[in-house]
Amino acid sequence: MRLNYDAIIIGSGPSGIAAATELKQQGINNIVILERESQAGGVPRHCQHPTFGLLSFKRPMKGGAFVEKILSLSAGVPVMTNTTVVEIRPEGKLLVSCDKGLVEMQAKRVLIATGARETPRHPRLVSGLRPQGVLTTGALQQFIYLNRQKPCRNPVIIGSEIVSFSAIWTLRNAGIKAKAMIESQSRITANRPLSLFPALMGVPLHLNSKLVEIGGLNRVEYVVIERNGQNERIECDAVIFTGEFTGENTLIRKSHLDFIANTGCPVVDTNGRCSDAAYYALGNMLHPADMGDQCYLEGKVIGEAVARDLHQVSGAAINRIVIQHDNHILFTAPGCVDKTAANSQFNLNIRVKQAISGQVTVTAGSTILYQGNHRCMPGRRIMLKNVNAELIPLNATEISVSIV
């Protein structure tokens, strides 16, 4: 088993596969993708809706077809499946669990593309018992599309992000009708026209409603929701928690890499480079959860940047300026700018904590790098395009993002 590589990519989702493909095309051949699952492809493997491919291949594709396509373009980059990275160490060293046991692998550059996950029950602090039948959309899709099993008959869906509607659709494909969709806000999180979708599917949508209890001894039997100050009981056999994505950051939080305190995502510059220059991060682990196509295209850009880095004879000095933000904003990706990097412009991906519409301004000292009006919803991608890095003053120590 080979243990030393030019580049190791952790995660074989769209971003990891794209970065590996690009590295190979740029002449970096000594590379490997490490994947903890038994098959490559990441989340799209179990997303059987035709919501992939439009940006990358100009046609709608189901998740499975999208994975086949991107793997076919990867020019045979090896993927080691059933292989989990359990620790990230300085100098590109990784502790890896595989069929040989625990081994240390090392690469000149490591790309972290571990994706995102939905928030499960435990951190949502819902009271009640702990019966079977509580799952996420991802788990639901794996039951239905990968294992051909029906995990429930009349579930309730919690949340109203795009993925929540995907849960209704997934259930429908298995002949299951959701009992209700529950959203604590006064409107759905996804685009408003989607609020017609539950009605079309015969699923009642309860807005301004909060899940307060899950009942049932062995199996979920009911939930209690609070609506207009009243508690209401809904009989059901499962609860599907949807959305509220967080980056898969377990590795990062216990590593030596700088990370954003409230999200656990590594602080990267506009090329995806982490605080340890041997490490890069990309895809949904940085900005949970963008679409598969967006992550695939991002992976190609980061792969190219890593290849440039590896081809460089002597590494240029790094001069990172941190990107601060006001309290409306949950995170920015990237989290800093390397002044010595060649980017004259960069795109800034942000998320907000609460719905807010207003002018988003990016400044360095008193210089405005970007200004634009945005309607921002929590959980939705907001992309500030072409932030002008050339305007950053030489003596700038900080970049700020605010919404007014």
Ligand X SMILES: Cc1cc2nc3c(=O)[nH]c(=O)nc-3n(C[C@H](O)[C@H](O)[C@H](O)COP(=O)(O)OP(=O)(O)OC[C@H]3O[C@@H](n4cnc5c(N)ncnc54)[C@H](O)[C@@H]3O)c2cc1C
Question: Which residues make up the interface to ligand X (CB under 6 A)?
Answer: 10-16, 34-37, 42-44, 47, 49, 51-52, 84-85, 113-116, 118, 137-138, 141, 163, 166, 248, 251, 283-284, 289-293, 295
What's the rounded Cα separation, in Å, for the pair 317 and 330? 30
Nearest approach, Cβ of residue 339 and ligand X (Å): 27
According to DSSP H, which parts of 87-216 are helical? 121-124, 137-141, 162-173, 196-200
Residue whose tokens read 């099993």: 149
Nearest approach, Cβ of residue 206 and ligand X (Å): 22
What's the rounded Cα separation, in Å, for the pair 85 and 98? 9
Q: Which residue lies nearer to ligand X by CB, 137 or 363?
A: 137
Q: Which residue lies nearer to ligand X by CB, 163 or 401?
A: 163
Is residue 42 within 8 Å of residue 13, measured between CB atoms?
Answer: yes
60 token code pair: 């709608």
Nearest approach, Cβ of residue 168 and ligand X (Å): 12
What's the rounded Cα separation, in Å, for the pair 238 and 217? 12
Nearest approach, Cβ of residue 136 and ligand X (Å): 7
Q: Which residue lies nearer to ligand X by CB, 94 or 348?
A: 94
According to DSSP, the β-strands at 155-158 and 238-241 are parallel
Q: Which residue lies nearer to ligand X by CB, 293 or 309?
A: 293
Q: Which residue lies nearer to ligand X by CB, 110 or 182?
A: 110
Is residue 180 within 8 Å of residue 156, measured between CB atoms?
Answer: yes
Nearest approach, Cβ of residue 375 and ligand X (Å): 21
| Torsion sign over Cα 114, 261, 294, 316 | negative
Nearest approach, Cβ of residue 287 and ligand X (Å): 9
What's the rounded Cα separation, in Å, for the pair 202 and 5? 53
Nearest approach, Cβ of residue 273 and ligand X (Å): 17
Q: Which residue lies nearer to ligand X by CB, 92 or 138?
A: 138
Nearest approach, Cβ of residue 312 and ligand X (Å): 26
**DSSP codes of every residue in 268-307:** --TT-B-SSTTEEE-GGGTSTT--HHHHHHHHHHHHHHHH
Written as one letter, the residue type at 386 is: N
Nearest approach, Cβ of residue 163 and ligand X (Å): 5
Q: Which residue lies nearer to ligand X by CB, 198 or 243?
A: 243
Q: Which residue lies nearer to ligand X by CB, 254 or 311?
A: 254
Find the farthest-apart pair of alpha carbons in the chain and give their distance in angstroms, rounded.
68
Using alpha carbons only, how large is the chain's radius of gyration in Å? 22
Q: Which residue lies nearer to ligand X by CB, 291 or 318?
A: 291
Q: Name residues whose C-beta falls within 8 Å of residue 130's C-beta, 6 or more positions apart in sequence.
A: none
